[in-house]
Amino acid sequence: MSADVLTKIEGKIARISLDRPKAIHALTTAMCAAILAALEAWRTEPQVEAILIDHAEGRGFCAGGDIRMLAESGAKDGAEARAFFHTEYRMNHRLFTYAKPVVAFMDGITMGGGVGLSQPAKYRVATENTRLAMPETGIGLFPDVGGGWYLSRLPGRTGQFLALTGHRLDGAECLALGLATHYITSGTLEEAKARIAAAPQRIEAILDELATSAPDAKILAHRDAIDRLFASDTLEDIFAALEADSGDWARQQLALLRTKSPQTMKVSLRLLHEGATMPTFEDEMRQEYAVGAHVVQRHDFLEGVRAVIVDKDNAPAWNPSTPEGVTDHIIDQIFAPLPDDEAWAPN
């Protein structure tokens, strides 16, 4: 097992606790492999009736993946990055298809890989500390780990809005959009876990009993604007709609989008468009793996990581620098399927 993942059987449940606090529990290949191994072992273990996923200590549930490693690998042959995606997506798929109920506690920062870890769970618990986002377009990446599946199934055009802007949702907003099934105050989480361990057949009832009324979901005040301004699957249309709107909120979103990678914003729109009708989650992961394998070796991802994570100047020089410069041919290249012997598979 990875030292950064704690796994144990507790009564009638098994627990997975992410334990890499200095990196806000960002996932490594070894952590994903450890979770996969545990899930496989518990699959046929009669004592284990349910799985709980949380974080051991420190702030945040999971801040994403090992971005620096991905960029270093992408600058070379990309092999290590592909190995990470391959293992992480197998973990995502295993959780999505797992027969036993899974409860994910999204207490604190839940971004990128943390979304991929929590969204397949049958029960997804948000708290007043939850900050969920898919901020990948800011570093020249895209909302993977099933983002094309989950975001495309949100109400109206909220998925497209979240994918392009990387907007952070609080716990109440997660509940309102269906990204969380329950809203529970953080002070009640230990009681919830203890009660579920004692009676896993009552998970839903226990969470219902401990749930509290969530505050108003602020994003709902902008739902009409989101559906109108982000209506198109063409990035240039969204920019034009925002430019034509004189409201403060639209101006803020336009300014935000101008800081993101035009290339991976277009990738994100296509991913959600195709994800909405993807036959199975396995098909979604196969496509995202091919897209990820291509994107990590492209200029925008290496430049985004340099600007945001390495040098921290927050001034990435995207290439192409405008939506118009990103041709359909570029996007087609990124979405090209991998050869059969390189393609992702769930096992």
Angstrom distance (rounded) from CA 126 to CA 340:
39
Opening angle at CA 69, ends 284 and 298, nearest 5: 60
Helix (H) or strand (E) holding 303: helix 299-305
The token duo for 16 is 């997975």
Q: What is the pLDDT of residue 138?
A: 97
Angstrom distance (rounded) from CA 185 to CA 171: 10
Q: Which CATH number fits domain 5-334: 3.40.30.10, 3.40.50.720, 3.90.226.10, 3.40.50.1000?
A: 3.90.226.10
> What is the predicted pLDDT for the residue at 89?
98
Amino acid 187: pLDDT: 97
Say what the pLDDT of residue 59 is: 82
Q: Taking the domains of the chain in order of start, what are their residue ranges? A: 5-334
Quote the pTM value: 0.96
pLDDT (0 to 100) of residue 57: 83
pLDDT of res. 1: 57
pLDDT number for residue 344: 98
User: What are residue 313's DSSP bridge partners?
Assistant: none
d(CA 61, CA 57): 9
Provide the pLDDT for residue 3: 81
**Each residue's pLDDT tens digit in the chain (347 positions)?**
578 999 999 999 999 999 999 999 999 999 999 999 999 999 999 999 999 999 998 789 999 999 989 989 989 999 999 999 999 999 999 999 999 999 999 999 999 999 999 999 999 999 999 999 999 999 999 999 999 999 999 999 999 999 999 999 999 999 999 999 999 999 999 999 999 999 999 999 999 999 999 999 999 999 999 999 999 999 999 999 999 999 999 999 999 999 999 999 999 999 999 999 999 999 999 999 999 999 999 999 999 999 998 999 999 999 999 999 999 999 999 999 999 999 999 98
- Beta carbons of 159 and 272 less than 8 angstroms apart: yes
The two structure tokens encoding residue 135: 């901020």
Alpha-carbon distance of 216 to 172, in angstroms, equals 7
Task: Catalogue the active-site residues.
Answer: 65, 113, 136, 144
Q: Give the Cα separation of 163 and 148 in Å (integer).
A: 9
